[in-house]
Amino acid sequence: MNKIDADKLIVEYQQKIFGFAMSKMRNIADAEELASNIMLEIYKSFLKTDNIVNIEGYVYRIASNVYARFVDNEISNKHIDILKIEYPVTESGFDNIENGETYKKLRKEIGMLSNRQRVITYMKYYKEMSVMDIAKKLNISVGTVKWHLSDIRSGLKEKIDMVKNSNLSVNPIYFINMGHGGSPGKNGDTKDMFDSRLKQNIAWSCYYQAKTITDISKELEVPIAYIEGELRKLVEWGYIDQVDSSKNPKYLTNMYITDSREDFSEEANIKKEVAKFLCEKFFKDLFEKFDKAEDNWGMICPNNDKNYLKYNLVMMALSSFGNDWENWEELAVKRPDGGNFIAYATVTDDCVRQKPDDKYAGCGYMYDQVWRDNKQVLQSKQYNCIYSDRKIDWRSNTQEDWEDLYSYLSNGCDKEKISVSSFSNLSAKGYVVDGENQVTVINVKDGNLVTVINNFVANHIQIPEFIFEEGKKVDERLYEVNKSKYPEHLEKLVRYNNSNAFTWGEFIPYIVERMLEVGMLKPLTQKQKKAVFTVVAIDCR
């Protein structure tokens, strides 16, 4: 064929070739590269060939051959993205590409095969290799290849028309809140691990029922090749358990995942009742006694503002009701980076227009220590919620803050005696404003700082026994309304998370809300919000 005719034909088929490339690659950059390779091969072939009877079929055959080589070179049969490989079609033209629901289902089901079986499928049905050649290429026996092919054929025939029993592939979930109870490791916590929606959906898929990787893959309609690496990491880091040691083991998520799409209105009502009960039966008497204490029970803050200190008393009082860490050791998971915690998350999906009300969201309690010469010299306790002007995230509480604060306080609040960076950090956090410390301080002359922090209220007043009895009743009510919302295999964790309720930090915003309504508290200034619910005990010996 002469050059002029070849040029005309290339221009005529240019758009169709690019469309062919796009249908194969699903990616503009790869499609452009493939189209360029195809046009080069076709153009060279035109110049060498005369009297082509069926131009359409001729062009398509060359395009298919170039594509086959392109795929083979790119993936070398090892990491095959089946969603980018097209099922072989005839030379009937470009209009028949990707037609039919059966073909689409087949391609998805092939993507659910194991890595070995996907490779064998590709070699046999896409490259049309013989069984013997496949065996040599993969260094396995001919009998093994035949067994896999038989298993593949029967499996695909069974699955191709199966009815899906899940909608995760259509309406995947995502985590709106992630956190931990315990100590995060060097690599962070739940939020750092579940940095992709795929990981989140893997965990959710095997949350209520143990599933194999094949089950998970089918439910998400994501090829196993994409699932296995993420699943392996989630198992390694203790978020998902492998429950058996078979060739195709099952997996079960051990996190405490709350489905925000459930109805938690009864739980919210219980918490509001608790806030009302504690305000009337406990905090009213507590505040009256505190108002009479000229020394504010040893608590120090700017201007000895009793209203401000009462906010902190709310936090300190809950700790005095008991131990919210009971049975924690049994349920916490030790992570490879040194973390030791129970992982928490809250789930929603794209169909939920209204996200859960975060009015009562909180983060804490957060404890930090400062040591000097093998002696603990500072113990801090902090809780973050809507009434404190801090991010509701444990990351906003850093060891550097308490090191800087101790240096500032132990040097008589003289900014000239600490580094500029330390003073700047304290000022930026709002812990120091206009040269004055805003954090509530308790000077301890003897005794354990941790005990002082946790038992502060109990050390100054006797907590009535009926408060503890009421707490046990509330625990049982919360457990009864919540237990059906979580998997049976997490019964101990559900029981733990619905016990010692009166000690929970999450009651703080409910209690403060009630106190503001009835006038037991006055609103804080913006300056006070930066440091409220932050108390440090300092060894001043």
CA distance 87 to 326: 58
Q: Is 345 exposed, middle or buried (0-12, 13-18, 19+ CB in 10 A)?
A: buried
Shared domain for 497 and 365, answered yes or no, is: yes
Q: Is 449 exposed, middle or buried (0-12, 13-18, 19+ CB in 10 A)?
A: buried
CA distances from 19 to 59, 94, 386 (A): 13, 9, 54
Task: State phi, psi for 325 to the nearest 5 degrees.
Answer: -100, 10
Residue 522 is assigned to a structural domain of this protein:
yes
Count of the separate structural domains present in the chain: 2
Shared domain for 155 and 273, answered yes or no, is: no
DSSP, collapsed to helix, strand or coil, labels residue 534 as strand
Residue 488 is assigned to a structural domain of this protein:
yes
Which distant-in-sequence residues (6+ apart) come within 8 Å of 202 by Cβ? 216, 220, 227, 230, 231, 234, 240
Distance of CA 80 to the CA centre of its chain: 28
Shared domain for 138 and 272, answered yes or no, is: no
Shared domain for 151 and 270, answered yes or no, is: no
How does pLDDT run along the chain (541 residues), one tens digit per residue?
Answer: 788 888 888 888 887 887 788 777 656 667 777 888 888 888 888 888 877 777 887 888 888 888 877 766 654 444 444 444 444 433 334 344 334 455 555 555 666 667 777 778 777 766 778 888 888 888 888 888 888 887 777 666 555 444 333 456 657 899 998 999 999 999 999 999 999 999 999 999 999 999 999 999 988 888 888 899 999 999 999 999 999 999 889 999 999 999 998 888 899 999 999 999 999 999 999 999 999 999 999 999 999 999 999 999 999 999 888 776 777 888 999 999 999 999 999 998 876 655 556 788 888 788 899 999 888 999 999 999 999 989 888 888 889 999 999 999 999 888 889 999 999 999 999 999 988 999 999 998 876 888 888 888 988 899 999 999 999 999 999 999 999 999 999 999 999 999 988 988 889 999 999 999 999 999 999 999 999 999 999 987 6
Shared domain for 280 and 151, answered yes or no, is: no
Shared domain for 285 and 151, answered yes or no, is: no
Residue 165 is assigned to a structural domain of this protein:
no
Shared domain for 152 and 273, answered yes or no, is: no
| Domain stop point among 101, 126, 159 | 159
Q: Is 419 exposed, middle or buried (0-12, 13-18, 19+ CB in 10 A)?
A: exposed
pTM above 0.75, yes or no: no
Shared domain for 136 and 275, answered yes or no, is: no
Q: Name the residue among 148, 153, 149, 231 with its Cα closest to residue 196.
A: 231
Shared domain for 152 and 298, answered yes or no, is: no
Q: At what angle do helices 28-48 and 3-25 cross, to 10 degrees?
A: 150
Shared domain for 149 and 276, answered yes or no, is: no
Residue 78 is assigned to a structural domain of this protein:
yes
Structural domain range at position 119: 3-159
Cis peptide before 365 (omega within 30 of 0): yes
DSSP, collapsed to helix, strand or coil, labels residue 399 as helix
| Domain stop point among 159, 194, 229 | 159
Residue 333 is assigned to a structural domain of this protein:
yes
DSSP, collapsed to helix, strand or coil, labels residue 235 as helix
| Domain stop point among 159, 174, 204 | 159
Shared domain for 338 and 476, answered yes or no, is: yes
Residue 524 is assigned to a structural domain of this protein:
yes
Task: State phi, psi for 305 to the nearest 5 degrees.
Answer: -70, 105
Residue 155 is assigned to a structural domain of this protein:
yes
| Phi-psi sector, 278: left (phi>0), alpha (psi -120 to 50), beta | alpha
Shared domain for 272 and 153, answered yes or no, is: no
Q: Name the residue among 207, 175, 172, 173 with its Cα closest to residue 191.
A: 175
Residue 184 is assigned to a structural domain of this protein:
no
For tokens 């087949």, name the residue: 106
Residues 63 and 71 sit within 8 Å (Cβ to Cβ): no
